[in-house]
Amino acid sequence: MQEYDVTLKLLLQGSASLTLRALTGTAIAKWLDVELPKVQNLRLDLLGETVDGDLIHLELQSSNDPAMPLRMAEYCLGVYRLFGRFPRQVVLYVGESQMRMESELRGCDVLFQYRLIDIRTLDGDRLLESEGVGDNVIAILARLRDHKEAVHKIVERIAGLAAAEREIALAQLMILAGLRHLSRTVEQERRKMPIDVDIREHEVLGPMFIEAEQKGRQEGELAILRRLIEKRFDGLPSWAAEKLESLSASELEDLSVRVLDAKSVEELLR
């Protein structure tokens, strides 16, 4: 999940000011690059300082971690040791499955709490209206009335950017779209727009874009093959579904051709 964390950090440190205000209720005057002095050598995702001198710690999470309260408590104490101030803490959950983490650590005479926000509770349509392209891109993860129309609007906005900004924003959109299985939709919209850049050559985002692009193709081929098998054999056994998940896009494409001649799912996947 590193590619998602890197992408979100860049967006939140860039033009996603509306998203930041929705999460923290304030604006960040400057970001602090901090590695906490602790045995575990903890490194925060984002630590910022407001104009009033308050510290804001924003942690990005794409999976349900039962140890999250303990991690956040350790982060909090680490920041206090370094700055002599407690930070306001927010965990932003961006995963696909339902959020199941706790937002507090409770014990005898101990109560530690932080804000836990599922990004799908943010108004994505409001983020689409923002002048910051970072907010527009992050909207792909938020609550939207129409995901396909949202992708169209975001790509249309990106198409109007200067070449350098356009290249980065499109790569970031493709990467985040992977969290919502929308990579294929983004690629389809990209092909419709007058965008002529080679994102793959970008030093930081290029490798992540290629990975997201391949994942999007694999998801598309998998969806098509699943429908074909279900229609051809009146269902898809769980063992077969698991095996399909492990195959590459080219392998899935080959099976899509062979499915019409196979006499059973076993014969197709042997």
Residue 258, domain member (yes or no): yes
Distance CA 163, CA 201 (A): 13
- pLDDT tens-digit readout, 183-221: 888 888 888 876 555 555 555 556 656 666 566 666 666
CB atoms within 10 A of CB 242: 9
Report the chain's mean pLDDT, rounded to a whole number. 84
Is the model's pLDDT at 137 over the cut of 90? Answer: yes
Residues 151 and 131 placed together within one structural domain of the fold: yes
Residues of the domain holding 251: 217-269
- pLDDT tens-digit readout, 34-57: 666 554 556 788 999 999 999 999
- Distances 7 to 83, 102, 106, 145, 167 between C-alpha atoms, Å: 27, 25, 33, 24, 13
Residues 189 and 250 placed together within one structural domain of the fold: no
Residues 148 and 99 placed together within one structural domain of the fold: no
Residue with tokens 């493709």: 174
State the pLDDT at residue 168.
83
Residues 44 and 96 placed together within one structural domain of the fold: yes
Window from 58-72, 137-151, 194-208 with minimum mean pLDDT: 194-208
Where is pLDDT greater, at 86 or 171? 86
**3-state DSSP assignment of residue 89:** strand
Distance CA 191, CA 230 (A): 30
Q: What is the DSSP string of 121-138?
A: GSBHHHHHTSS-HHHHHH
State the pLDDT at residue 39.
45
pTM over 0.75: no
| Region of 19 on the Ramachandran plot (φ > 0 left; ψ -120 to 50 alpha; else beta) | alpha
Window from 14-23, 218-227, 256-265 with minimum mean pLDDT: 218-227
**What is the average per-residue pLDDT within 17-34?**
88
